[in-house]
């Protein structure tokens, strides 16, 4: 039995080297971290901890599901690739990667700019763009080491990770044949009006690392030219697939679907075990609640990044059966079925976003077994904390809650809470509902559900304390943060939310489901919010499970990993 580790979105950032300088500290500002969907500096030690865990489990084949680097900067890509080479040389790990949207950009690449904390708490802007404004920084450094390369540069940096034919593989091919010459791996891509045409590299490949195992890496990045005769070297000349993902694949790379179908057929005929992976999810990552979320919140990033139904069905029709994705930093298992066709998408979490985990896959007869490993403890998780405190003192920012984190997983859980306050509530939620979140408790939500009259959110006010329900004093803000924990972590989130609070959420959801109000009322929208939460609680098994490769049935498996009790002992549950 061959076990395969699947990791996603390491976003590795080298905190020991500041590009373009002789400064041995490259700590990104915590203010920028709090405004991002991922943490930056902690990736340095987190990726090492993850790889050490893989080594400890004696797994040798490792899939990297895109976004190996922070943002594709030349210096960062070099450091990230060097780390993987070190583990390959020292521990015998064999890496097979797919490109992510942060690893490269179109033909010629694009500029990158980052802020690094200085000893006095100020920050220096380090950029590849000579025209970049210094902004709130006190100094600026311009260096080509910050530039994110295009396809050719990035693939050369990651050459050993499956993108070119290796000496130790039994089979290797691309959609274009068996040549690994990049010039032979291009296709024509047009703007929406058909007038602007570019030749773009596709980095997909099929490899057989050991007898009987086929790994199909799909390059799901698409860089579509914008209409008009634009400069092919400029970032603004392209529409990238960060949001579109596989939706853009069906329109711009239909030849990939034909190749997937051919590979799946040959795998079945030859008795090969086929595991497909790409950076973007190929099935709705919200497990069917996307429409409800769109009605409640509008066109959120999750909604924009959800593959359309026709895309999922087209992928299922190819016969690949199993697909592992990254990009969204979530833990999820989704299934699409169309007659005898089915496809399971396994969304792999990231070590730089809640929850910190990776997947282990193994084929057992007609089943694929999947185990999810949470990495709660990371040596050096607080390596940047001293500089964060200096930054806080200099800027007046209050980072105390973040800096009280007890370990890596706790830091990510607290970072998610900061994202809810600083990003999700102000940017995704309707202002009238967002106003209620810091004001109300669960007791208030219970009381509002008992009002038969449809209320406007503007008319809702906090009420008296609830003497009946022990959970009544829980702030609505805690529920909101837990909603996002469940959205991103599914079953893993259970380790970070007290069981009595989860039960309280179910009780509230049932109370709202029994009511009837006008669609625009506060109660109806809260009912939708809680209905989505219930779908997260009752989604497909996403932690330890098996997929029947004949029927597509997904069955939960007992836990054999670090569990809830251990996490509580570490103070993160």
Q: What is the pLDDT of residues 6-28, one digit of tens each?
A: 999 999 999 999 999 999 999 99
Mean of per-residue pLDDT scores for the chain: 94
Q: Is 61 exposed, middle or buried (0-12, 13-18, 19+ CB in 10 A)?
A: buried
Give the whole-angstrom CA distance, residue 29 versus residue 71: 16
pLDDT at 305: 84
pLDDT at 507 over 80: yes
DSSP assignments along 139-207, one per residue: EEEE-GGGPBP-HHHHHHHTIIIIIS--TT-SEEEBTTBS---GGGSEEEEE-TTS--EEEEE---EEE
pLDDT at 114 over 90: yes
Which pLDDT tens digit goes with each residue over 300-311? 888 888 899 999
Q: Is 393 exposed, middle or buried (0-12, 13-18, 19+ CB in 10 A)?
A: exposed
Average pLDDT rounded to a whole number, residues 458-472 = 86
pLDDT at 467 over 80: no
Q: How many residues does the chain have?
A: 573
What are the residue ranges spanned by the domains of the chain?
A: 1-97+111-147+350-401+543-573, 164-347, 429-540
Quick one: pLDDT band at residue 565, thresholds 50, 70, 90? Answer: very low
Give the whole-angstrom CA distance, residue 137 versus residue 69: 24
Quick one: pLDDT band at residue 559, thresholds 50, 70, 90? Answer: low
Which pLDDT tens digit goes with each residue over 67-103? 999 999 999 999 999 999 999 999 999 999 999 999 9
Q: Which residues pair with 199 in a beta bridge?
A: 188
Average pLDDT rounded to a whole number, residues 173-195 = 96
Give the whole-angstrom CA distance, residue 275 versus residue 261: 13
Quick one: pLDDT band at residue 290, thresholds 50, 70, 90? Answer: confident
pLDDT at 312: 95
Which pLDDT tens digit goes with each residue over 325-348? 999 999 999 999 999 999 999 999
pLDDT at 419: 95
pLDDT at 568 over 70: no
pLDDT at 564 over 80: no
Share of residues in the chain with pLDDT > 90 (%): 89
pLDDT at 571: 32
pLDDT at 560 over 80: no
pLDDT at 155 over 60: yes
Of the candidates 87, 6, 8, the one whose C-alpha atom is nearest the C-alpha of residue 351 is 8
pLDDT at 139: 97
CATH of domain 1-97+111-147+350-401+543-573: 3.60.21.40
Average pLDDT rounded to a whole number, residues 550-573 = 58
Of the candidates 377, 276, 371, 335, the one whose C-alpha atom is nearest the C-alpha of residue 65 is 276
Average pLDDT rounded to a whole number, residues 111-139 = 97
Give the whole-angstrom CA distance, residue 35 versus residue 26: 18
CA 267 to chain centre: 29
Which pLDDT tens digit goes with each residue over 404-442? 999 999 999 999 999 999 999 999 999 999 999 999 999
pLDDT at 562 over 80: no
Which pLDDT tens digit goes with each residue over 201-258? 999 999 999 999 999 999 999 999 999 878 999 999 999 988 889 999 999 999 999 9
DSSP assignments along 210-226, one per residue: ETTEEEEEE----EEEP
Give the whole-angstrom CA distance, residue 169 versus residue 342: 29
Q: Which residues pair with 316 in a beta bridge?
A: none
């Amino acid at each position: 039995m061959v076990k395969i580790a699947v990791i996603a979105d390491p976003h590795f950032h080298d905190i020991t080297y500041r590009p373009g300088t002789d400064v041995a500290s490259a700590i990104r500002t915590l203010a920028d971290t709090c405004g991002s969907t991922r943490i930056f500096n902690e990736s340095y030690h987190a990726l090492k901890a993850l790889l050490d865990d893989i080594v400890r489990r004696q797994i040798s084949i490792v899939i990297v599901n895109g976004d190996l680097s922070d943002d594709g900067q030349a210096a960062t890509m070099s450091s990230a690739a060097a780390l993987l080479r070190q583990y390959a040389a020292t521990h015998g790990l064999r890496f097979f990667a797919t490109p992510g949207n942060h690893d490269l950009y179109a033909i010629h690449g694009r500029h990158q700019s980052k802020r690094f904390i200085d000893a006095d708490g100020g920050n220096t802007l380090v950029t590849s763009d000579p025209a970049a404004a210094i902004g709130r920084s006190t100094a600026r450094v311009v260096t080509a080491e910050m530039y994110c390369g295009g396809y050719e540069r990035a693939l050369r940096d990651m050459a050993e990770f499956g993108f070119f034919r290796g000496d130790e593989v039994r089979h290797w091919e691309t959609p274009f044949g068996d040549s690994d010459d990049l010039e032979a791996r291009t296709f024509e891509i047009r703007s929406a009006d058909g007038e602007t045409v570019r030749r773009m590299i596709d980095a997909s490949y099929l490899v057989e690392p050991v007898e009987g195992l086929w790994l199909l890496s799909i390059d799901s990045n698409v860089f579509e030219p914008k209409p008009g005769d634009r400069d092919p070297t400029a970032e603004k000349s392209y529409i990238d697939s960060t949001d579109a993902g596989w939706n853009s694949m069906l329109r711009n790379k239909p030849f990939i679907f034909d190749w997937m179908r051919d590979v799946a057929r040959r795998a079945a005929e030859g008795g090969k075990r086929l595991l497909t992976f790409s950076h973007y999810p190929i099935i709705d990552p919200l497990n069917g609640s996307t429409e409800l979320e769109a009605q409640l919140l509008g066109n959120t990033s999750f909604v924009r990044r959800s593959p359309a139904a026709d895309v999922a069905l087209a992928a299922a029709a190819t016969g690949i059966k199993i697909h592992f994705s990254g990009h969204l930093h979530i833990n999820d298992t989704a299934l699409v079925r169309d007659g005898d066709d089915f496809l399971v998408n396994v969304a792999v979490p990231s070590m730089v976003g809640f929850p910190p985990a990776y997947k282990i896959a193994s084929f057992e007869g007609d089943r694929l077994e999947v185990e999810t490993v949470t990495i709660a403890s990371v040596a050096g998780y607080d390596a940047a904390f001293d500089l964060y405190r200096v930054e806080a003192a200099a800027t007046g920012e209050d980072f105390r809650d973040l800096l009280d984190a007890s370990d890596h997983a706790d830091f990510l859980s607290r970072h998610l809470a900061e994202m809810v306050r600083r990003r999700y509530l102000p940017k995704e939620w309707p202002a009238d509902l967002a106003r209620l979140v810091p004001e109300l408790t669960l007791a208030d939500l219970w009381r509002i559900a008992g009002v038969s009259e449809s209320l406007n959110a503007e008319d809702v006010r906090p009420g008296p304390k609830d003497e009946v329900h022990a959970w009544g004093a829980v702030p609505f803000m805690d529920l909101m943060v837990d909603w996002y924990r469940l959205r991103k972590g599914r079953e893993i989130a259970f380790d970070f939310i007290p069981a009595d609070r989860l039960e309280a959420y179910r009780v509230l959801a049932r109370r709202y489901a029994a009511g009837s109000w006008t669609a625009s009322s506060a109660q109806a929208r809260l009912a939708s919010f809680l209905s989505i939460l219930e779908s997260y609680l009752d989604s497909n098994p996403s932690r330890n499970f098996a997929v029947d490769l004949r029927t597509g049935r997904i069955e939960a498996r007992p836990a054999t990993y670090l569990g809830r009790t251990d996490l509580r002992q570490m103070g993160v549950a």
